[in-house]
Every structure is written in C-alpha cells, then in structure tokens.
Amino acid sequence: MIAPIEGFSKLTKEEKIDWIVTNYTQHPESAKTLLKRYWNTDTDIQKLHDEFIENTITNYFLPFGIAPNFLINDKLYAIPMAIEESSVVAAASKAAKFWSDRGGFKTTVLGTEKIGQVHFIFEGDSEKLNSFFERVKPKLFIEISAITKNMKKRGGGISAIELRDKSEQLPNYYQLHCTFETLDAMGANFINSCLEQLATTLKREAQNHTEFTTDEKDIEVVMSILSNYVPNCLVRAEVGCQVSELSDDPKKATAFANKMVQAVTIAKVEPHRAVTHNKGIMNGVDAVILATGNDFRAVEAGVHAYAARNGSYTSLTDATIENGIFKFWIELPLALGTVGGLTSLHPLVKLALEILQKPSAEELMQIVAVAGLAQNFAALRSLVTTGIQQGHMKMHLLNILNQLGASNVEKNTLTNYFKNNAATHSAVVEAFENLRKQ
C-alpha cells in the first residue's frame, strides 16, 4: 500500500512529479515524459499556469475553436469555444449560419442582480430580531462602504439587505439576504467580502443590543457566501421566422416546425429528456464560459436550479408556432464577468474577449445565451430530422481514426468513404482494417 505523503505542496514541481509517477504509475519514465510534453515552452506562460492552482504538474489542453457568423442584434460575432466534444463547434456554426440568413439572434438582458447571504442562528423572539435589524440596517450599509466605495462610484454596489426568517424550514435559522450589482465583474470576491463584514457587524451589534436577552445577543453566524442561484441575473435570446422560411419545401417546413415544438414540449414535461436537452444547451454555454475565463461550475449549478424553479426539472428553451411564425427562445440566469479573475490573467482568455470585441458582462451574457440557444437548435434539428448520429459520427470519425493510428492518406480515403456510409465505430474499424489489408 502507498504511504500517505506529508507536505506534498511544499515539494518542487519536479519532486511532485517524481513522487506521483513513482507511486501511482506503471511506467514512471514515460509518464514523466508525457507530463513534461504538455509544459509550455514559454516559461512565463508556464509559470502563470503553474500558479493558477496548487500542486500543478502539467497543463491539460482543451481545443479552443471558433464558431463564426453569429448575427446577434445585427452585429456579427465569431464566438470562441473551449470544448473537447466533437461536433459542438460545427453544430453551433451551422445554427449560426442558418439564423444569420433569417434575421439573426435577438437578445435582451432581463436583470443583473447578484445575491449573497449571511446564514445565522438566532435563538429568541423573532419580533425583537426584526426591530433590531431595522435599527442596525443603516450601520450595516455604513460598515461595508469602504468595500463598496469603488463599485458604487461605477454605478454598482449593494442594493438591498433583507432579513429573512427561515425558522419554519430549520429552527432558529435566519438570513441576511443581500442583492448586489457588480457591473462587469462576476463579483464573487466583492460579494463575499461585503458579506463577511456584514456578519461581523451583525454579531457585534447584537452583543450590544440592550433589548436582547443573553441568548438572543449570541447570534451564531454559520456562514457568509454568495449564491450561485441568480434568477434575477437573467438574459433572453430568441430567433424567429415564418414557418415557410424553415425549408425550401413548404411541407417539410411545416413538419419541421411542428416537430421542433414537439421536441421542446417533450423536454418541458419529461425530466429525463429535459436533462439531455439542457445538457446540449450547456455544450454551447460552457464552451464560451470556459473560453472567456468564467466559472462554468457556478453557471451549471445556477442554470440547473433555474430549470427546476417550479418544482420539476424542465426545458430551458421554449418554442411556439403562432400565425405562421416559428419562435424559439431561451432564458438563462448567468452571472458572468469580463473584468477581474482569469479575464485579465489568462492570455487566451484575453484573446477570446478581444475576438468578442471586448464585451461588457451584459454583452457576454447575451453571447453565451445565444451559444446555448444555437446549440439546442442544432441538436433538435438533427434529432427530429436525420437523427443525431449522422453528424456526431462524422465528427467522431477523425477521433476514431486517430485512435487507430491512421495516416493522413488513410484518413482522407476513409473520410471520403464515410461521406456515403454510416460511420459507426465498428464500421470505421472494419473499413480501416480492410484498407490496411489492401
């Protein structure tokens, strides 16, 4: 059995690598070589990446691709996407092209409110807590003013502090539920710093509040943290056109529009389908979130909570046909930043933002929502027409051929062959073996 290690984080990078490859790999030398092959030859770039996290031993690459031709509110974007899944960028590009010929995407930011909470336990009379809160509220605002000063100057800051009684859900549980405007910053550090100051003020003022009993004075702050559930930091993206514009063949156009609406309706009423439907949306969303240095875990958590906001998990997109018009739209809660964090540190993130014409956080929300909508449109379009495997396997063909060690000539031959043949995994292997036998 491998013994636990003390002080791993204090080892040098070389020592960490030696320890891990010796103790956990079958071929330490080749593992070490592999790890080093992924180092950047530019030592400054490598150092930057080393310092993003603790215990870095190498880099983990994801493809960084571009989906061009996104017409959003009459402005043309090329969207950077960081993702490993074959066919996502191709699908986004196809949907972008399709809709750019039909008026493009229209987007609206419906809200930009962020949320943070101080969770605390108060054992006593809730009426007394209410009047204490009203009295202490101005002080709460004053004592965070040093933190909020700069944000306020730019038009942001803390917009409200509410006392919320949660004692029906959990005995003696209350919150300071706070709303923030963080402009172009995602705002996590800003919000958390404000909350921790609010918690300190709350505790201290409770101790000094003469109308409280000894127990009541002893407010126990459990934690102070932003919420990644941001239903009022919301963006809407939509596309629409005459049903007849969906295909050159009028019969096909109507059938396609109906099937698209049916597919969305199924995802609205059936959670198993809704999860996969929304997963496809997140293919687009996460890829842009990653490329622009935002926190995809936060977005994922918030988006899925939003999809379940009415008590059952449902589709994030919607579609209708009314008076001969097909409409397809999405609403997504997205707390994003285009300043701070990785956005000013990671060279590729900076480039991604430059490619997007240096968007504000609100503009980035709109671009991300469009990427999600486009992805869903492309997935449903395949699903209700050809089936998903045709497109998927075409893109996956190259992965299979690479796995098989095909040469460039073999790849060309087999790519041509599979233009007219179903590219299942076994068919590709068989065709490859046959080619080698020739």
Shortest CB 395 distance to ligand MEV, Å:
11
H or E stretch covering 133: helix 126-143
Measured CA to CA, the distance from residue 367 to residue 275 in angstroms comes to: 22
Name the residues annotated as catalytic. Answer: 85, 279, 295, 392
Shortest CB 274 distance to ligand MEV, Å:
10
Shortest CB 390 distance to ligand MEV, Å:
12
Closer CB to ligand MEV, 286 or 331, in the complex: 286
| Site mask for ligand MEV (CB under 6 A), range 270-299, x = bound | ------xx-xx--x----------------
Shortest CB 232 distance to ligand MEV, Å:
27
Closer CB to ligand MEV, 83 or 178, in the complex: 83
Residue 344 contacts by C-beta under 8 Å, 6 or more apart in sequence?
350
Residues in region 78-137 near ligand MEV by CB under 6 A: 85
Q: Which two tokens stand for residue 58?
A: 């190498």
Query: Which residue lies nearest ligand MEV, judged by its C-beta?
Result: 280
Residues in region 70-89 near ligand MEV by CB under 6 A: 85
Q: How is residue 15 annotated by DSSP?
A: H
Closer CB to ligand MEV, 175 or 424, in the complex: 424
Print burial letters for 61-80: b (CB count within 10 Å at least 16), e (below 16).
Answer: eeebbebebbbbeeeebebb
Residues in region 301-330 near ligand MEV by CB under 6 A: none
Kindly tell me the number of DSSP H helices and DSSP E strands found in the chain: 16, 10
Measured CA to CA, the distance from residue 326 to residue 324 in angstroms comes to: 7
Neighbours of 203 (CB within 10 A): 16
Asked whether 216 and 128 are in contact (CB, 8 A), the reply is yes
Closer CB to ligand MEV, 90 or 388, in the complex: 388
Measured CA to CA, the distance from residue 326 to residue 254 in angstroms comes to: 10
Closer CB to ligand MEV, 112 or 278, in the complex: 278
- Asked if 259 touches ligand MEV (CB under 6 A), the answer is no
Asked whether 213 and 124 are in contact (CB, 8 A), the reply is yes
Shortest CB 73 distance to ligand MEV, Å:
26
Site size with ligand MEV, rule: CB under 6 A: 9
- Residue of 186, 203, 173 lying closest to 116 (CA atoms): 186
Residues in region 372-411 near ligand MEV by CB under 6 A: 379, 383, 388
Bridge partners of 117, per DSSP, are 177, 225
Shortest CB 281 distance to ligand MEV, Å:
8
Closer CB to ligand MEV, 99 or 190, in the complex: 99
Asked whether 335 and 298 are in contact (CB, 8 A), the reply is yes
Residues lying near ligand MEV in the complex (CB under 6 A) are found at 85, 276-277, 279-280, 283, 379, 383, 388
